[in-house]
Structure 1
């Protein structure tokens, strides 16, 4: 990442089609398995997605796991703005957590469908975008709409 990185706010979008519906894998991560915004497929009862934020090496926020998602593919947008974490999946706002984070660690790497421990998430990334700002709610809903 270059000068476009914004440590105060940002939006991470990925369009993803899983090849499996159970297990643990990072759909989108940064720097390491436990750093910054990470979207996981992790649920023994089916596919689930959450978003996490780490600052100063400490997990500062982890959203509830959104489970039992039955769509064949997912448009996922994780948004961090001063004090708030949001998660949009397939045109719905599923997490809106105010007063949870104030910043996240500087991103040096973006890992798509891969964890730093070498575990590869099986699936297809159709699109990835990083925005160095918190997108508006209407932009988030439009971008993630199926």
Structure 2
């Protein structure tokens, strides 16, 4: 009877460890799932709250409560969203927007080319009146998605 308990406990522990490893190593288009915060010019993480960075999970990237689809087109990864005027967006904001994305496996830095607002921070919503700028993000946590 003791043997059965030992085998059951060892099997349960192994299943939990394997499940945890699988969850931690999930990716979409080579980008590990998790929460990414912006890096400043000196490489220091800026933690302005969850919504200021990117949350990557299940083929989606969320930034400031907007959910983008993660797509690979001709080997290039994009975060893509379509905003419609009938949902309250202005003509400058509405339409299909794609942010080009690069993930460096060596440095584990996510680079997103996105619109910068008037003071140089990532724009809350895509807006073609602003210029595109590269922003760097680094993972600081994980999501189970």
Which structure has the larger Rg over C-alpha atoms?
Answer: 2
Q: After TM superposition, is the score higher than 0.5?
A: no
Which structure is higher in RCO with an 8 Å CA cutoff and minimum separation 6? 1
Query: More helix by proportion, 1 or 2?
Result: 2
